[in-house]
Structure 1
Amino acid sequence: MITRLRSLARYWTTLVPGLAVILLVFAWGRDLPGAIVALVATVLAGSVLAAVHHAEVVAHRVGEPFGSLVLAISVTIIEVALIVTLMVDGGDKSSTLARDTVFAAVMITCNGMVGTCLLVASLRHGTAVFNPEGAGAALATVATLATLSLVLPTFTTSKPGPEFSSVQLMFAALSSLVLYGLFVATQTVRHRDYFLPITRQGEVITGEGHVEPPSARTAWTSLGLLGLALIGVVGLAKTVSPTIESGVEAAGLNQAVVGVIIALLVLLPETIAALRSARRDRVQTSLNLAFGSAMASIGLTIPAVALASLWLSGPLVLGLGSTDMLLLALTVVVGSLTVVPGRATPVQGGVHLVLFAAYLELAVNP
């Protein structure tokens, strides 16, 4: 019995996508009791992890730069699916959901993930070392994307309220795609060495821990399971969305908390991977994951939501309020001071974590 349980645990990424689709068939269109909702939420979280795992397998098979795009697009499909699913039935009260989710992703990655990784690496190894050229370029791209997509709508005058006009929204979407594509090309082709981990003497580490790519059969299997997992994520999110919204409303919490929940769910696999890299003193890899996740969240989610807005009713509010803009500005300033030296102590990690805690506090109690 114990051996069989271990075997099931070993192959959970194969079992969960199928289980998600089966559960979706029985749960679709029904009012679910609390116990079933908890089961659906658990399988939903497992489906997200399984989807990212299979995306990584496919990415390893096809290589760079296409591998990075496979993972980023897969994760973005999950995020957009969750956002659009909740926006379809939410009406005007969900008009800020895309903004809240994307901003939550930026704060989670640039403060929560970065702060935790710097703290873990510096406490374990004395100081956290990384490549300032690569980290600086990534942070600059994140800051530009966030400003164009989340700050400018607050100040534009073509449309009342913190919204883009149709032309402005298309410009922001295209700009996001161009910047993200340019960064991916720089990271994976032209200046790849800027984004590789370095030793404490400043030497680039190449080829360490290389693993042979999976076979074509394994990659095709993972591609199929990835499709099943994404179907499960989209469908199960639709099933539990009324419970999430009613729970947030019953608790008297700000609607932005829904965006925080979505971002935490989507970014969980990247967070785990980043912490593992930090423990192995590969902080540059951790920063690549953190800033890359923030970039994908803005650079791919905003264009997708802009496209979805063509058939979704209701407004699409992207502009941040004054408090969130202040937190974003402080994050960019502190992040710049962190990455410029190329090394960090526990102080820098603690500062980012305090900023993340402040964001969470203000999301719950604005």
Structure 2
Amino acid sequence: MGPLVALGVGVLLEVKQATIGRLPVAPEIVLSVLVLALAFVTVFITLRHAEAIAHRVGEPYGTLVLTVAVTAIEASVIVSVMLGGDQNPTLVRESVFSTVMIVCGGMLGICLTLGGLRHNHQELKRQGTSALLSVVVALSVLTLILPDYTLTSTWGTFSRMQLVFVSTLCLLLYGSFLFAQMTRHRDDFLDDVFSGGEDEHTPSNDSLGKSLVLLAIGLIGIVLLAEYVASALEEGLAALQIGQTDAIVGAFIATLVLMPETVSAIRASMNNELQRSLNIALGSACATIGLTVPVVAAITLFTGTDLTLGLGAGDTVLLLLVLAVSTISFGTGRTTVLTGLVHLVIFVAYLMLIAVP
């Protein structure tokens, strides 16, 4: 029922966009809050249907269904906001950067802190985690830092040939990660002991066809709802003359998309399944960069719009710091509460620099 409601409300917002734009400030704020709440609820319901499909089709196709569902939401929202109204050439950069900071700072920080408080210390597979981190580091540097140092185009951007080349590398890297995780090196990404946590909460009574239909409806509804909220947020920030508009909108998009995976990762860590928690968290970062950037790059090349990927100096320092700390944190194969607190401190610094750049 949730996806149908989201689609109906989303279509109504698109049709009545001009009328809604003439509403007084207070009613429009209330409407935006209600739409935002509906979008979050629909994300959880839609991904639950994606999980149901994943369980029915089995691996490796199940993981691909979940990945495509999450990435489709983020890419569609970014593209719709980028192409609607004034162009936002830095929105992709801010969304991807926010995803890495939320995953490696906030999500991992919460998981390691809560898991450490409950279990004192937790064990992980160094082989699988190192492979995950290497992919995240390579993708992050190639897409967010390298554009600042190329000479063919202006600062922070790639030329058309460079953009095609880097997008292809992103797809190849992510494809290699999937191949390693689901075939040849699958054991490197599995917990040694399964704790029996209650994470299987997928709807079991729906048929595969029904789940597929509701998944598609939910994705369209989320895109329409998120586009309205992101546009309203962008306009509101501009009206209040608040800087960092794209950074705040990018953080909102990343938070919306990562919320269900954050809950799953925290639940796994609390059940002492740290490796599964890391797979969920770092895997979502891999998917965001490895799939979203190529999709958005292809659309910008086709439409001729501008795309700025290179980070500023301050954000570059934060990105390198969180990636370096992540590499050190998981190098010993064991984590504690202190490990999680270090990640949370970096995440708080990221939030502070959004509010006070």
- Settle same-fold status: TM greater than 0.5: yes
Question: Which residue of the partner structure matches residue 45 of structure 1?
Answer: 40
Cα distance in 1 for residues equivalent to 2:307 and 2:86? 10
1:160 to 146, 151, 154: 154
1:239 to 209, 228, 233: 228
3-state secondary structure, aligned to 2:207: helix
Unaligned runs of 5+ in 2: 21-26
Cα distance in 1 for residues equivalent to 2:107 and 2:204? 32
Write the mapping of 1:148-297 to structure 2, written as runs, cut at 5 A.
Answer: 148-199=142-193, 205=194, 218-251=207-240, 252-255=242-245, 256-297=247-288
Alpha carbons of structure 1 residues 165 and 295: separation in structure 2 relative to 1, 3 Å = same
Cα distance in 1 for residues equivalent to 2:177 and 2:205? 28
> Letter of the aligned partner of 1:16 in structure 2?
G
Q: Residue 207 of structure 1: CA displacement?
A: 8.9
Cα distance in 1 for residues equivalent to 2:332 and 2:85? 45
> Letter of the aligned partner of 2:47 in structure 1?
V
Q: Residue 244 of structure 1: CA displacement?
A: 1.3
Q: Residue 237 of structure 1: CA displacement?
A: 2.6
Q: Percent identity?
A: 42
Cα distance in 2 for residues equivalent to 1:212 and 1:315? 42
3-state secondary structure, aligned to 1:281: coil
Question: Which residue of the partner structure matches residue 356 of structure 1?
Answer: 347
Cα distance in 2 for residues equivalent to 1:216 and 1:172? 43
What do residues 22-64 of structure 1 show as CA deviations (whole Å, max 9, x unaligned)?
2123222323342333322222222222221111111111111
Question: Which residue of the partner structure matches residue 4 of structure 1?
Answer: none
Q: Residue 208 of structure 1: CA displacement?
A: 8.2
Cα distance in 1 for residues equivalent to 2:199 and 2:116? 25
Q: Residue 241 of structure 1: CA displacement?
A: 3.5
Cα distance in 2 for residues equivalent to 1:108 and 1:116? 10
Q: Residue 364 of structure 1: CA displacement?
A: 2.1
Cα distance in 2 for residues equivalent to 1:261 and 1:234? 13
Q: Residue 269 of structure 1: CA displacement?
A: 0.1
| Between 160-169 and 23-32, the greater mean CA deviation after superposition | 23-32
What do residues 137-186 of structure 1 show as CA deviations (whole Å, max 9, x unaligned)?
10111000111111111100111121001111111111111110110111
Write the mapping of 1:127-138 to structure 2, written as runs, cut at 5 A.
Answer: 127-138=121-132
Write the mapping of 1:297-336 to structure 2, written as runs, cut at 5 A.
Answer: 297-336=288-327
Question: Which residue of the partner structure matches residue 27 of structure 1?
Answer: 13
> Letter of the aligned partner of 1:228 in structure 2?
I
Cα distance in 2 for residues equivalent to 1:299 and 1:173? 8
> Letter of the aligned partner of 1:284 in structure 2?
Q
Q: Residue 210 of structure 1: CA displacement?
A: 9.9
Contact 1:61 1:214 in 2 (8 A): no
Q: Residue 77 of structure 1: CA displacement?
A: 0.6
Cα distance in 2 for residues equivalent to 1:248 and 1:275? 32
Contact 2:160 2:301 in 1 (8 A): no
Cα distance in 1 for residues equivalent to 2:127 and 2:270? 22
Contact 1:116 1:275 in 2 (8 A): yes
> Letter of the aligned partner of 1:248 in structure 2?
L
3-state secondary structure, aligned to 1:299: helix
> Letter of the aligned partner of 1:350 in structure 2?
L
Cα distance in 1 for residues equivalent to 2:115 and 2:208? 33
What do residues 67-113 of structure 1 show as CA deviations (whole Å, max 9, x unaligned)?
11111111011001110111112434x11000000010011111111
Cα distance in 1 for residues equivalent to 2:206 and 2:198? 23
TM-score by length of 1: 0.89
Contact 2:195 2:272 in 1 (8 A): no
Q: Residue 230 of structure 1: CA displacement?
A: 0.9
3-state secondary structure, aligned to 1:300: helix
Cα distance in 1 for residues equivalent to 2:11 and 2:199? 41
3-state secondary structure, aligned to 2:97: helix
Contact 1:196 1:206 in 2 (8 A): no
Alpha carbons of structure 1 residues 181 and 250: separation in structure 2 relative to 1, 3 Å = same
Alpha carbons of structure 1 residues 209 and 188: separation in structure 2 relative to 1, 3 Å = farther
Runs of 4+ in 1 over 4 A off after TM superposition: 205-217
Cα distance in 2 for residues equivalent to 1:90 and 1:161? 24
Cα distance in 2 for residues equivalent to 1:349 and 1:264? 19
Write the mapping of 1:81-96 to structure 2, written as runs, cut at 5 A.
Answer: 81-92=76-87, 94-96=88-90
Alpha carbons of structure 1 residues 89 and 295: separation in structure 2 relative to 1, 3 Å = same
What do residues 266-314 of structure 1 show as CA deviations (whole Å, max 9, x unaligned)?
0000000011111111111110011001000000000100111024453
Q: Does 1:71 align with 2:70?
A: no
Contact 2:96 2:289 in 1 (8 A): yes
